Amino acid sequence: MEIQRLASLAISDSGFIFDPVSGHSYTTNQIGLEIIRLLKEDKDIPEIIEYILDEFDVNRDEFETDLIDFTQNLKSYYLIGD
Amino acid sequence: MKITIAVSGINAVDNPGPGTGIIRSLKQSSLDVRTIGLAYDTMEPGIYMDDIVDKTYLMPYPSSDQDSFLKRLEYINSIEKIDIIISALDAELPVMIALKEDIENLGIKILIPTKKMFALRNKTELKKIAEAIQVKSPEYISCTSLSDLFNAVEKVGFPCMIKGPFYEAFKVNSLVEAETKFHKISAKWGFPIIVQKFIYGEEYDVVGLGDGKGNDLGIFAIKKMTTTSLGKVWNAISIHNEKLAQATKRMVQYLKWQGGFEFEVLIENKTQELYLLEINPRFPAWVYMAGACGINLPERMVKFLLFNEDKFPSDYKSGKIMIRYTAEIIKDIADFEKITTLGELENNPKITEFSNE
């Protein structure tokens, strides 16, 4: 997965994200922030799933579906590649 | 050393000229400046801005004969001893370009594009430049009649953009809509009407300054956040986009750009390709934002012209937002009387309190 663009994001603890390349800004929650941090560390999807399930009280099936949606969103904003 | 700088385009109206932004940049720089406004109408707001323009002179319309334009400049120079003119009005630039040598003979320095550069506002020329600097340009067709319009939209397809020769652009989805906008724009701005392929993307602008030898003295990029009905930037955010910066530098190098400019592009969502939309041969109205973020281009122009400085920092902060707003100035009728009858008005920057006298 191409993650170069993630490195340039300005990410605040409040969940506010600014992309200095496109000028777009986004908001996400605590889990979203963790996913972006893990992607930046080059973690793959199974590793992200295991980490989030360990750290947060979430249901595996729901989280896996949400993670697909979330990464699709990141792709649609050109923040990650295929 | 007090430097006297004359600036035009002080019409800070809803379709704002760049003059007041240029002067604010100069007033907030390290330079000690006296600013002279060159106005074309007694209601240009810059005339009455005490803290911006020190003195304003009315100019003859640039469409009038060049002799009277030059004579007026000679008169102003005899009083003010102008060091530099920053021309910031599209309608005035052809006259300034034609009179450049005469202006320089008065001892005034000026950094403006050549006639050839000014002609780049022509869309045909723009396409050639886009190719030369390795960016795309949107497919377009010029129309001067309804039959031209029908043929054009058939070729380009829907949705497409219907644009005026100077201002206003509308996205249309049908022939009826295209025809309505064609009539609306042509009644207001005349011909030709441009039919342009619609590209799904976002608009970005770069303001910059070229030294005339292929180097830039600074560039600064924004993403437009909101625009007026005429497509003018109202809110913007500073960005760092390397692809856009490199394309701008290639343009400056290729054309050996001289003076201020605004480089307008659209970045296509799907492909992230750059499409060249316009090159404006002057600073844009939002030029103050660049200075406030660390790239003070009017100040650099002055330092380049007067002190031959050509090395400036290129770094600035991204994520800075420009919020434009409207405001009111209350002045005495005597000021209006002076500019109307004498054609000149000296401002008083010390007035800060309400006065009912």
Q: Are residues B123 and B56 both part of a single domain?
A: no
Are A18 and B319 in contact (CB < 8 Å)?
A: yes
- What is the CATH number for B8? 3.40.50.20
Interface of A with B in 5-34 (CB under 8 A): 8, 10, 18, 20-24
**In chain A, what are the domain boundaries?**
4-76
Residue B351 lies in a domain: no
Residue A5 confidence (pLDDT): 83
Select the residue of B223, B242, B272 nearest A23 (Cβ to Cβ): B223
DSSP SS3 for B137: coil
The verdict on A2 touching B (C-beta cutoff 8 Å) is no
For residues B176 and B281, state if they share a domain: no
Q: Are residues B42 and B101 in the same domain?
A: yes
User: Which of B227, B239, B246, B269 to substitute to test the interface with A, most A CBs within 10 Å?
Assistant: B239
B235 and B129 in a common domain? yes
Q: Is B321 on the interface with A (CB under 8 A)?
A: no
Is B191 in the same domain as B336? no
> Is residue B322 less than 8 Å (CB to CB) from chain A?
no
B158 with B82, same domain?
no
Distance in angstroms (rounded) separating the CA atoms of residues B94 and B48: 27
Q: If DSSP codes are grouped into helix, strand and coil, which group holds residue A3?
A: coil
Same domain for B225 and B106? no
- Condensed to tens digits (0 to 9), the pLDDT of residues B327-343 reads 999 999 999 999 999 99
User: Could you tell me which residues are beta bridge partners of residue B66?
Assistant: none
**Count of the separate structural domains present in chain B:** 3
The span from the CA of B264 to the CA of B207, in Å, is: 9
Would you state the pLDDT for residue B14?
A: 83
Q: Which residues of B touch A21 (CB under 8 A)?
A: 239-242
Same domain, B296 and B205: yes
State whether residue B130 sits within 8 Å of chain A by CB.
no
B92 and B182 housed in the same domain:
no
CB nearest A20 (choices: B202, B267, B319): B319
Whether pLDDT at B357 is above 60: no
Q: Which residues of A touch B319 (CB under 8 A)?
A: 10, 18, 20
> Among positive and negative, which fits the CA dihedral B283, B238, B3, B36?
positive
Token pair 């949606």 is found at: A69
- Type and span of the H or E element at B101: helix B100-105
Partners of residue B239 in chain A, C-beta under 8 Å: 20-23
Q: H-type helices in B58-122, by residue range?
A: 66-80, 93-98, 100-105, 115-118
Q: What is the pLDDT of residues B9-37, one digit of tens each?
A: 999 888 899 999 999 999 999 999 999 99
CB B188 within 8 A of CB B168: yes
Q: Do B204 and A24 touch (CB under 8 A)?
A: no
Name residue A7's amino acid. Answer: A
Residues B163 and B237 grouped into a single domain: no
The answer, for B226 touching chain A at a CB cutoff of 8 Å, is no
Is residue B190 located within the same domain as residue B227? no
Q: Is 60 exceeded by the pLDDT of residue B351? A: no
Mutation for testing the B interface, residue in A21, A24, A82 having most B CBs under 10 Å:
A21
Strand partners of residue B170: B162
CB B274 within 8 A of CB B329: no
Mean of all residue pLDDT scores within chain B:
93
Question: Which whole-number Å values give the CA distances from B266 to B22, B201, B219, B247, in the listed order?
Answer: 25, 6, 17, 12
C-beta neighbour count of B118 within 10 angstroms: 19
What integer pLDDT is reported at residue B124 of this predicted model?
72
Q: From CA B55, how far away is CA B77, in angstroms rounded?
A: 13
**Chain A residues within 8 A of B242 when measuring between CB atoms:** 21
Provide the phi-psi class of B305: left if phi over 0, else alpha when psi is between -120 and 50, else beta.
alpha
Structural domain span for residue B48: 2-110+327-346
Q: What is the pLDDT of residues B154-213, one digit of tens each?
A: 999 999 999 888 778 899 999 999 999 999 999 988 889 999 989 999 999 999 999 999
How many residues in total does chain A contain?
A: 82
Q: Say whether A22 and B267 touch across the interface (CB within 8 A).
A: yes
CB-based contact (8 Å) between A4 and chain B? Answer: no
Claim to verify: residue B168 and residue B66 sit in the same structural domain: no
Domain at B178, CATH number: 3.30.1490.20
Q: Which residues are paired to B7 by β-bridges?
A: B37, B86
**What's the pLDDT at B106?**
98
Given this model, what pLDDT does residue A82 score? Answer: 75
Closest residue in chain A to residue B319, using alpha carbons only: A20
B282 and B261 Cβ atoms separated by less than 8 Å = yes
Nearest to B19 by CA among B28, B9, B33: B9
Q: Are A23 and B267 in contact (CB < 8 Å)?
A: no
Q: The CATH number of the domain where B227 resides is what? A: 3.30.470.20
